[in-house]
Amino acid sequence: MKKKYSAALDRSPPWARRVTHVLFAFVCVACLFPILLVFAISISDEATIAQHGYEIIPRMLSSRSYEYVLSDFQQIMRGYMVSITITVIGTVLGTLITAMIAYPLSRTDFPFRRHFTFFVAFTMLFNGGLVPWYLVYVKMLGAKNTIIPLIMPLLINGFNVIILRTFISANIHPAIIESAIIDGAGELQIFFKMVLPLSVTGLAAVALLVSLNYWNDWYNALLFIDTKKLFPLQFLMYRVNISIQVLNTSSFIPDAAANARTRLPNETARMAMSILGIGPIVLAYPFLQKYFVRGLTLGSVKG
């Protein structure tokens, strides 16, 4: 039986606990501050920003940036749809495939186990390089301007496989699997009916990592997507920011193009987009967080 943690069992002196609390309060503020600042800027008036710089308490409120961002409502909504679609599909598929690799690797009776583990670890250190990788998707799969290159490249991450493998071998005793075999279960049955339900915590941790990867990805869209209707939300944001940066910093942009800047959103609108971009993924956190913590601390506590 595992003992639940409670304050009564904590035998550290009260001052130590207080110090810890204060410390963590500081960390919390440090984490929240940037988000609050971005939010404050997004609701500030552009002119006061230009005059006084960024301020945590807006001098003058304005909803203009949100009006601007939402004026292209359709595009934003489409971006949301694409992001949500790839996150949901990618997370489900990615987690499943990760588990399907991790589980066999955790079985000591799996032949060539070390070699396959090496293959997984190898991808964490080396990759094929940008151009061949691009060629595989564009030339071999013909997947440019489809949803495939938004999902496929992020499906498996060697690191997640290793996490999950360690989790399974630490939490599922070989005797459990042996007993299932004795009861006449096939490999697929064992995997879906025993292993997956028993490793929910580990799966949830991996799922959170994978979903964050999908939600935050803009790079695949940059490489593979030319049509507006498949732009994920993060790429819309990236595009605006990087375009402003290019136009502002390059000395080699014709002045006529620099004038085009007048049609790009201003500082506050960019911040408003960031706030919208945080969106639903923030809601996923509280639900998955308890699993997340348990999943990642696996192996550190002997139970």
Partner 1 sequence: MKRLFSMISVLLILSVTIAFAGGGKQSGQAASGDTSKQVTVDWYWVENLEEADNDLVSSEISKLTQPKINTKVQMHVFDWGSYTTKIDLMLASGEKIDLVSTTGLPFHQMVAKDYFLPLDELYANYGKEMAQYMIDYNLEGCRVNGKLYAIPTPKEAGGCYGYVIRKDYVDATGVDLSKVKTMEDMTAIWAKFKAYDPNFSIYNNASAYIDLMGFQVLGDGPGRIYKNEKAEIVNEYDHPAFQAIAKLWHEWYVAGYINKETSTPDFAHTAALRDNKIQAIGGQCKNGIEAEVSSGIGGKYEFTKVIIQPPIALTFTGYECAFAIPRTSPNPERAMMFLNLLMSNPEIHNLANFGIEGRNYITLPDGRIDFPKGVDAANLTYIPNAVWENGNAFISKWWNTYPVDHVARLRAYNATVQPSVALGFSFDADPVKAEIGACANVTNEFKQAILSGAQPLENYLSRMQQQYKAAGIDRVIAEKQKQLRAWLAAKK
Using CB under 8 A as the criterion, which residues of the chain lie in contact with partner 1 when the complex forms? Answer: 46-47, 50-51, 53, 115, 118, 128, 130-132, 134-136, 138-140, 222-223, 226, 228, 238-239, 241-243, 245-248, 250-264, 266-267
Residue of 95, 102, 50 whose CA lies nearest to 211:
95
For partner 1, the closer of residues 18 and 261 by Cβ is 261
One-character DSSP codes across 167-217: HHHHHS-HHHHHHHHHTT--HHHIIIIIIHHHTHHHHHHHHHHHHHHHHH-
Q: What angle do CA 212, 214, 218 make, to 5 degrees?
A: 115
Q: Give the span between the Cα atoms of 52 and 145, in whole angstroms.
A: 43
Minimum distance between the CB of residue 139 and partner 1, rounded to whole angstroms? 5
Minimum distance between the CB of residue 234 and partner 1, rounded to whole angstroms? 13
Q: Give the span between the Cα atoms of 87 and 66, in whole angstroms.
A: 25
Q: Which two tokens stand for residue 211?
A: 């979903």
In the block, residue with structure tokens 């459990």: 176
Minimum distance between the CB of residue 217 and partner 1, rounded to whole angstroms? 14
Minimum distance between the CB of residue 282 and partner 1, rounded to whole angstroms? 26
Q: Give the span between the Cα atoms of 179 and 26, in whole angstroms.
A: 50
User: Rounded to the nearest 5°, which phi and psi values hold at 253?
Assistant: -110, 130
Minimum distance between the CB of residue 62 and partner 1, rounded to whole angstroms? 14
In the block, residue with structure tokens 């639900």: 287
For partner 1, the closer of residues 108 and 262 by Cβ is 262
Q: Which two tokens stand for residue 15?
A: 């001052």
Beta strands in 186-302 (DSSP E): none
For partner 1, the closer of residues 187 and 267 by Cβ is 267
For partner 1, the closer of residues 222 and 293 by Cβ is 222
In sequence order, which ranges of 107-173 are alpha helices (DSSP H)?
113-125, 130-135, 148-151, 158-171
For partner 1, the closer of residues 49 and 99 by Cβ is 49
Q: Give the span between the Cα atoms of 220 and 97, in whole angstroms.
A: 20
Minimum distance between the CB of residue 5 and partner 1, rounded to whole angstroms? 45
For partner 1, the closer of residues 125 and 283 by Cβ is 125
For partner 1, the closer of residues 5 and 73 by Cβ is 73
Q: Give the span between the Cα atoms of 145 and 155, in whole angstroms.
A: 18
Minimum distance between the CB of residue 45 and partner 1, rounded to whole angstroms? 12
Minimum distance between the CB of residue 117 and partner 1, rounded to whole angstroms? 12
For partner 1, the closer of residues 85 and 266 by Cβ is 266
CB 230 within 8 A of CB 77: no
